[in-house]
Amino acid sequence: MSGPPSDLPCRELFALPAGIYLDGNSLGAMPHSAREAVIRRLDEWQTQAVSGWDEWFGLAESLSPALGQLVGAKPSEVIATGSITANLHALLATFYQPQGQRRHLLATELDFPTDVYALQSWAAQRGGELRLIPSRDSQTLHPDDVAAALTPEIALILLPTVLYRSGQLLNVPQLTALAHERGALIGWDAAHSIGALPHGFHDAGADFAVWCSYKYLNAGPGAPGGLFVHERHHDRLPALRGWWGNDKASQFEMTPDYRPSAGAAAYQQGTPPILALAALEGALKVFADVDLADIRARSLSLTDRLISLVDRHLPELRVITPRDHAQRGGHVSLAHPQARALSAALRQRGIIPDFRAPDVLRLAPVALYTLEAELEETVRVLRELLDTGAHLKVDVSGAVS
């Protein structure tokens, strides 16, 4: 296909929940192809039992070409495995090697907590400290502040491609070049961007990256994540090794000598969850014939439309997502003191957003399946809630998001 049509993109490829779904930046809607792939693998398990491994053995590696397209990498530089946190630990164990004055790690105070926890643990293990770049407005990150924090004591910096609360998109090539100019390694967390916009990790020269696949990749709750390791680092042995990272040709020789797979596949550890990989396998089919540039163009069109509607009809809600296309990811974040109550009230009316403490309502128009009319209806309902105060009567205790 040449690109998603302006109104009905690839919507028919998804089994959408009832109502209006605007939380695909937390958990993507289910593609029919994901269900079909899981059922196919279940049938193989039923009919073939252990013989199914003849096909499943290289399943993760078979997904690398498609993942490479999504993150702008060579197939040898990516692998579907683990979770963001597990993968980040494996990569930090390998890449964070304090030497001399370069002893410290760097991140931002706006990072998703799991990244901070992992960084803290390795700083403690290896005698460094984790420094956090402050935000000028508690929502976004200024590149000058990154530059100021990249002192000669920094060994490695980890940044998100898109900040999860505000939706700010960072400049990967620019900040990667800056880190390298300052003598630091740099890794990226692409959880809130993979599947929503093009990437170029190889050409940018990023040292490594991690991501999940249950947001814009639509591979299901707890789906396997993935990682990228630039080919210039493929001579490094993973610090955390497991038998599934062994070279496939000799894996079942069961020798005590570790023989790493080529490239990023060496970072696999335990036996992969085949049924979960199957959902990712099926979900990736949605992207096979869609140009990421078209996805990005429609995403920007939808978020432009949403921001315009909020500006016109909901002046009480403050848009904290950057309006500049070059700095905007795939979702729109709105600040309001009653954001939690508004989120809960929307859900009661069949509109699914999410909430991030203390005061952010996030709306994610996903290019592959969200309609402009759904954004208009969401804004209409928000206006009604604010006018009537009905959201203040909603019980928000126990709400996850």
Catalytically active residues, by annotation: 112, 189, 214-215, 362
User: Would strands 185-189 and 154-160 be described as parallel, antiparallel, or unpaired?
Assistant: parallel
> Residue 6 corresponds to which tokens in the numbers above?
């302006």
C-beta of residue 7 within 8 angstroms of C-beta of residue 371:
yes
> Residue 162 corresponds to which tokens in the numbers above?
């898109």
310: which residues sit within 8 A by CB, 6+ positions away? Answer: 317, 319, 332, 334, 379
CA distances (Å), 68 to each of 141, 238, 254, 354, in order?
27, 20, 30, 30
User: Would strands 226-229 and 78-80 be described as parallel, antiparallel, or unpaired?
Assistant: antiparallel
How far is residue 370's CA from residue 22's CA, in Å, rounded to a whole number? 8
Which burial class, exposed, middle or buried, applies to 258 when counting CB atoms under 10 A from its CB (0-12, 13-18, 19+)?
A: middle
Dmax of the chain from CA atoms? 70
How far is residue 40's CA from residue 193's CA, in Å, rounded to a whole number? 29
Length of the chain: 401
